[in-house]
Amino acid sequence: MLKKIKLSSLIYPIILLILLLLLSCEHKTKPDDNRINYNEQAAFDQNKDAEIQRYNLELKKKESKNRYPCDTIAVIEHIFDNYPAGTYLLEFDRTTTYNIPKPAVIYFTDKDGSKFVFTVIATSRAGERLIEPTNVIGYDQSFIDLDSTKLGTPFLYLVLFECSGENLIKQWEAPIPSHGGFNSITLKKWNYNGTYYLENYFHYAQGVGHINYNYFLIDNIRNYPHLLMTYKGTSFKRTLANVNNDKFPDYYEHIFYNLNDKVYSKDSVAFKWSAKDTLYINTKNQKQTRRY
C-alpha cells in the first residue's frame, strides 16, 4: 500500500525554489556600480566627451573620400576647436527610421562670389551636464521646454561662417529662442522683395503644430539678421506678411474661435515692425507689442 505524501513536504520545496528564482533575477537585474555607461560618464566629464568627439571626427575624416574647403567635417572640427565643451553641430530630424540624418549646414555663394556657411549649433549651459544632440532634435524633444535641466539645458544658435580659403570666419551668431524640437533649416526668399531668410523649423508637440524662427538677411548677409517668428497649430497661426511696404517683414496674427464642435479662424490682426522701437506693434492696439 502506497504511503500518503504530506502536503507540507511538497509546499516547502516549491516555496524554496520560487525564492531562489526571485533572488537570481534580482541579482541579474541589479546594476553594477562599477560599470557605469561610458556616455553617461561623458555627460559629466568634458575630457571624456572631447575624447569621444575627437574619435568620431577622426573616423569621419578617414571615411570621407571627397573633401573640400569648409566642408561639413571642417565645420565640425572648427566647432570642436573654437567653442566651449558640449557644443555640437545639429542634424536634421529623420524623415524615416533608417535614413541617414543630414547635417544642419547650408552653403551659399553671394553675388560677389563670397562663400558662406549657415549652421545650427547647440551648446550646453555651464555648470550642468553636457547635452546630447539627440535630445534636441525631433518631435518628442519639443517637450524639453517643460523639463530641460534633467538632460542638460541646450542653447541653440544660427551661425554664419564665411569661407575664406580653407578657413571658417564667424560673421555673426544669433540665438534661437527654443530648447528643443529642431527639425530642419531652409534658405528661402521673401516673395515681396526677394530678401533671403533662413527658416528654422521646430516641432511644437504641446500645441500639435510647428514654430518657424525666420532670420531675414536685411541689406547685407554679413549684417546681424532680423528675427520674425511664425507658427501654425490646431488653434494658433501667424503668417508672414507685408503691411507697410518697408524692407522689414511683418505678420498677421490669426484669431481663433473655440466652439463645442469646432475650432476655426475667420479674422486676423496685423503686426508691423517699428524700427524706432525695435518691436512688432499691433496695428489695432498700439499697447500690444512683440519682440519677434
Q: Per-residue pLDDT tens for 117-157?
A: 999 999 999 888 999 999 999 988 888 766 656 788 999 99
The x, y and z cell numbers of residue 171, run together, are 560673421
Question: Which residue range(s) make up the domain with 101?
Answer: 40-194
Largest CA distance in the chain: 109
Task: Indicate if the pLDDT at residue 30 is higher than 80.
Answer: no
Q: Which of 228, 179, 237 is nearest to 208 (CA)?
A: 237
Give helix 72-82 / helix 46-63 axis angle, nearest 10°: 160
Q: In 10 A of CB 92, how many CB atoms?
A: 20
Domain assignment of residue 125, yes or no: yes
Task: Indicate if the pLDDT at residue 272 is higher than 90.
Answer: yes
The x, y and z cell numbers of residue 147, run together, are 523639463
CA 276 vs. chain centroid, Å, equals 32
DSSP, res 191? T
Nearest 5°: phi and psi at 276?
-65, -45
Domain assignment of residue 64, yes or no: yes
Domain assignment of residue 142, yes or no: yes
In angstroms, the CA 6 to CA 190 distance is: 89
DSSP, res 193? T
In angstroms, the CA 225 to CA 238 distance is: 20
Per DSSP bridges, beta strands 209-216 and 196-204 are antiparallel
Q: Which of 132, 135, 114, 121 is nearest to 72 (CA)?
A: 121
The x, y and z cell numbers of residue 140, run together, are 518628442
Task: Indicate if the pLDDT at residue 20 is higher than 70.
Answer: no
Can you say whether the dihedral through the CA atoms of 123, 51, 183, 83 is positive or negative?
positive
CA 39 vs. chain centroid, Å, equals 20
Contact status, residue 161 vs residue 170, Cβ threshold 8 Å: yes
Report the pLDDT value the prediction gives residue 262, as an integer from 0 to 100.
85
Domain assignment of residue 56, yes or no: yes
Domain assignment of residue 44, yes or no: yes
Domain assignment of residue 22, yes or no: no
Residues 56-98: tens digit of each pLDDT: 999 999 999 899 999 999 999 999 999 999 999 999 998 777 7
**Amino acid (1-letter code) at residue 176:** I
Domain assignment of residue 35, yes or no: no
Mean pLDDT of 35-43: 57
Task: Indicate if the pLDDT at residue 25 is higher than 90.
Answer: no
Contact status, residue 196 vs residue 217, Cβ threshold 8 Å: yes
Domain assignment of residue 254, yes or no: no
Q: In 10 A of CB 6, how many CB atoms?
A: 8
DSSP, res 76? H
State how many domains the chain has: 1
